[in-house]
Structure 1
Amino acid sequence: MNGEEIKNTLKKYNLQSWSKQRNINPISIEKGDGIYFWDYDGNRYSDMSSQLVNMNLGFANKAIADAIKEQVDQYCFVGPSYGAESRAKLAKKIIELMPDNMGKVFFTNAGAESNENAVKMARMFTGKSKVFSRYRSYHGSSFGAGNLTGEPRRYALEPGVPGFVKFFDPYIYREAIDFESEEVATKYYLAKLREQIVYEGPDSIAAIVLETITGSNGVIIPPEGYLPGVRKLCDEFNILLIFDEVMTGWGRTGKMFGFENFDVKPDIVTFAKGVTCGYVPLGGVVVNKEIAAYFDDNLLSCGLTYSGHPLACAAGVACVNYYEEEDILTNVNKVGKILGEKLEVMKASHPCVGDVRYIGLFSAVELVKDKKTKEALVPYGKDSEGIMGKILGELKERKFMTYTHENMILIAPPLIITESQLEEELLKLDEVLGIIDKDYI
C-alpha cells in the first residue's frame, strides 16, 4: 500500500484510541531512524514524545532488532511455565537493577496489566482490599487500571469498582496555599494523606499506588521529602507502597528508575514502555523479597498467556544492555540540563507559560491565560473549542510531534537525542508558544 491507501484502510476498518473516529487523519509512516520518522511523501518528523513516552532508544536500533531476529530463529513462543533463556536473563537483569529489598518479577504485556496485577498481588498478600491512588494520575485504561486512574479517562468506567480511593497530588503550582518552602508543602500534603488513611481505616488499605513522578497529567515532581514521607506512612500503617514506573522507568529521569531520585525503596514496582522501547510489548511487576516468599506457599493467582514472551524478553535484554553499554544515563543528564535551561527561558519570555517542570528528559509546559491568576488555558477535563488540538496542529506543521493533555504540552524525546537536535526542535516549540501568546492570551 501507499500512504494514502494505508490511511483510508485504517479509517474504514480500524478504531483509533482516544479519538472521535469521523475526523481522524493518521500519518502513514514509511520508516524511522533515531529520533526521526518519515511519511510516504518523504516528510521528516521529529519524535519529541518518544511516541507514547516508550521509544526511549528511538527507531531502528540495530541491537534490539538483531536480538529479536535471533530469538525468532530459535523459537518465537513457549508458554510461561516453560524455561526460556531470554526470560531468565531479563528477570535476573531487572532484579539486579532494583534495590536490595526486591525479590522477583512477574512479566506482563503492558503498563495497565502491570498495575492490575500489582493491585491483585497487594490484595492477596495483605488480605486487605482498599487501594489509594491520586486524582491526577494515569495507570492505564483497562477495567482495573482504569479504576486506579484518577483523571478523566476513568469516567467511562464509572460507576467504578469498590475499594479504589483517590487523594490529591502534591501539586504546589496549583495549590491555593502559598507555601514558603517545599518542606512546608510536604508536611501539609503528608498530614492530609495521613488523615485520609485514618478516615478510610488503615486495616482495610492494601496499598498506596503512585506514579513516582506524575506523567501525562503534568510531570508533577514530588516536593522535597514527600516520597520518603509516604514510605513512613506506609510503614506506620502496614500498607504496601507501589511505584508506577511505566513512564519514569528505564532512564527517562536520568536514573534507571524514577524513585532512585528520591532515596526511597518501594515494595512493588510496575514497569513497561522503555523496557523494550515498544519493539515488542512487555511490562512487569517487581515485588519485594517478603512478597516473593509469600507466594512460595500461597497461590499466585495471576496469569497471562504471553507473560514473559520470549521475543519481548529478548528485546528487553538488548534494551537493558544498550542502556548500560552506551551510557545512556549520561546523555539524559547532559541533554536534560539543556532542556531545563531552555524551558526556563521560555517560561520567562512567554505570557502563556505558567510553569515548566522537568527532570532528565521528561518535561511539561503548563499553559495559562493569565500568569498571575494561573487560570489554565483550557478548563480541567474540558476543551470545547479544541484549543489544545489547534496548538498540536501548529507543532505538527513544524514536524514537532508530541502530545498534549489538559493544558500541558509534553516534551519527552528519545534518550539518544543530541544537544544540537534538541536545540533545533525547541526553536519550533518557542515559535508556537509565540503564536499562543498572540492568539489565545
Structure 2
Amino acid sequence: MQAKEEEKRAFDNDRAHVFHSWSAQDKISPKVWAAAEGSTLYDFDGNAFIDMGSQLVSANLGHNNPRLVEAIQRQAARLTNINPAFGNDVRSDVAAKIVSMARGEFSHVFFTNGGADAIEHSIRMARLHTGRNKILSAYRSYHGATGSAMMLTGEHRRLGNPTTDPDIYHFWAPFLHHSSFFATTQEEECERALKHLEDVIAFEGAGMIAAIVLEPVVGSSGIILPPAGYLNGVRELCNKHGILFIADEVMVGFGRTGKLFAYEHAGDDFQPDMITFAKGVNAGYAPLGGIVMTQSIRDTFGSEAYSGGLTYSGHPLAVAPAKAALEIYAEGEIIPRVARLGAELIEPRLRELAEENVAIADVRGIGFFWAVEFNADATAMAAGAAEFKERGVWPMISGNRFHIAPPLTTTDDELVALLDAVEAAAQAVELTFAGALF
C-alpha cells in the first residue's frame, strides 16, 4: 500500500505542478517509475519493462551502472561545485580522454549542460571563427529546443516558434525511402542530394556560410543513414568554400551505431571541424554536453576572449560519471558488441519481419539504433504500443515508426525478448490497420 501511495503522491504533484515539454498539459497522464536497473524499468506494482529507447537515447550504459554511480558518490564526497574558470581535474581528464578517443585531429573540448547548449555554442564559435553568419542544416533533423538550435531543426517541431535566428537555412539531405530527388538507387540519391546542396550553397552565397550542421545518422527525425559517400561529399564542398562541418553526435555518439562517433562510418579520412555531444557521454546520469574542436578553432580565441560560457561548464558531478563511462567505452568490449549484434541479430530479425508484414514500409538502422516504419495510422500504432507493454517492453514510438534503441549493455536474451515484442507489436499494427481498411 505504501508504494501505491508514493506513486499517487508523485502523480498528483506532477499533474498539479510540473509543466511537461512537448505536451498539451491537459492531455497527458505521465507514467511514474519506481526504479530502474540495467535495461529494465520497474513500476510501483513491481512490473518490469525493457527500456526500448534508453529513455531519450541517453542511457547507453544502462540504469544504475555501479561504476557510474560509484563515480558520482566518490566525487560528491570530494568536490561538488566549482567555478568553471578554475581547473577541475576530472573535467580535464574527460576532455583529454575524449580528444584521444575521437578519430581525427582535435585538441580541445568546451563543456555545456546538454546537447542544445552544445549546438548553440558550436554555431556561435563557427560564426566568430569564419566571420560569416549563415548556417545550413537539413530538413528531417532535430538539433535542440533553444533559440538557434530550434531554428536549426529541420522538422515540424520548430514550426510555431518565434524566429530567433534568421540566418539559418535548410536543404534536403538524402533519404531514398522518401526521396526528394526522384532517385531509384542510393547512388542516385547521394549524387542528386550533393548537387542540390551545392546549388543551395551557391544561391545562399558560399562566402556567407559559416557552417553546415549535420547528424551523421539522423536521430529522432527518423533514424536515417546517409548513403555511402554523402558525408565525404559534404566535406569536400565545405573544404572548397571554407565552410565548417559540424557533426551533431548528441544522440548517436558514444557507441550507439557501433562506432564511438557515427561520423567514423564515413571512412578513415573523414573528420568534422566540430563534434557536438551529450547523452551517451555519461549515459545521462547528469546533464552534460560539449563540443570537440580542432586547434584552429581553439586558436581563434587564443588572444581574444570567447564571448560565451556556462555556470556549470564541466560540472564536477556531471563529468565524474563521464570519466567512468569513457573508461568503459575504452575497454573495447561494448562498442564492437553493438556493431556485431546490430548486424548479426537485430538487422536479420527486422528484415525478415518486413518481408512478412505488409504494413511495414521500411526498416533501417545500424548498431543499436533502428527504425521500423509503417504504413499505418495512429490507432494502429497505439495497438502496437499496447502489445509492447503487454510483453514487458516500454516502447519508443514516433509517429508511424518504432524506434529501437535499447541500452548498449542490454543482454543477448533481453535483445531477443525485445525483438520478439517488436514482431508481436508489428503484427498488432498490421491487424489493426487492415481491420480499419476493411
**TM-score bin, normalised by smaller chain:** over 0.9
Matches of 1:331 and 1:100 in 2, distance apart? 23
Asked if residue 151 in structure 1 is aligned to residue 144 in structure 2, the reply is no
| Structure 1, unaligned runs of 5 or more | 369-376, 379-384
207-216 or 93-102, larger mean C-alpha shift: 93-102
Code of the residue aligned with 1:335 in structure 2: it is L
What is the root-mean-square deviation in Å for CA atoms of aligned residues? 1.5
User: What does residue 374 of structure 2 align with?
Assistant: 367
Matches of 2:236 and 2:154 in 1, distance apart? 23
Superposed, 1:34-45 pairs within 5 Å as: 34-45=38-49
User: What does residue 347 of structure 2 align with?
Assistant: 340
Matches of 1:438 and 1:303 in 2, distance apart? 53
User: What does residue 244 of structure 2 align with?
Assistant: 240
122-131 or 324-333, larger mean C-alpha shift: 324-333
Matches of 1:13 and 1:429 in 2, distance apart? 35
Cα pair distance change 1:291/1:56, threshold 3 Å: same
Superposed, 1:70-85 pairs within 5 Å as: 70-85=74-89
Matches of 1:110 and 1:302 in 2, distance apart? 15
Superposed, 1:106-255 pairs within 5 Å as: 106-175=110-179, 179=183, 181-255=185-259
Code of the residue aligned with 1:14 in structure 2: it is V
Structure 1 position 277, deviation (Å):
0.7
Describe the SS at the equivalent of 2:50: strand
User: What does residue 269 of structure 1 align with?
Assistant: 275
Superposed, 1:366-405 pairs within 5 Å as: 366-368=373-375, 377-378=376-377, 388-405=381-398
User: What does residue 337 of structure 2 align with?
Assistant: 331
Code of the residue aligned with 1:420 in structure 2: it is D
Aligned-residue identity in percent: 38
Indicate which of 340, 346, 358 corresponds to 1:351.
358
**8 Å contact kept, 1:217–1:406:** no
Q: Which aligned segments of 4 or more residues in structure 1 are displaced greater than 6 angstroms?
A: none
**8 Å contact kept, 1:403–1:410:** yes
**What TM-score results when the alignment is normalised by the length of structure 1?**
0.94
Describe the SS at the equivalent of 2:335: helix
**8 Å contact kept, 1:335–1:418:** no
Indicate which of 7, 11, 19 corresponds to 2:23.
19
Structure 1 position 237, deviation (Å):
0.8
Matches of 1:185 and 1:152 in 2, distance apart? 23
Structure 1 position 248, deviation (Å):
0.9
Matches of 2:310 and 2:276 in 1, distance apart? 16
Asked if residue 65 in structure 1 is aligned to residue 69 in structure 2, the reply is yes
Asked if residue 293 in structure 1 is aligned to residue 286 in structure 2, the reply is no
Matches of 1:186 and 1:135 in 2, distance apart? 15
Code of the residue aligned with 1:65 in structure 2: it is V
Matches of 2:103 and 2:406 in 1, distance apart? 27
Matches of 2:383 and 2:246 in 1, distance apart? 37
Structure 1 position 9, deviation (Å):
1.3
Structure 1 position 245, deviation (Å):
0.2
Cα pair distance change 1:394/1:25, threshold 3 Å: farther
Describe the SS at the equivalent of 2:26: coil
Code of the residue aligned with 1:236 in structure 2: it is K
Asked if residue 440 in structure 1 is aligned to residue 433 in structure 2, the reply is yes
Structure 1 position 205, deviation (Å):
0.5
| Structure 2, unaligned runs of 5 or more | none
Superposed, 1:299-310 pairs within 5 Å as: 299-310=305-316
Describe the SS at the equivalent of 2:214: strand
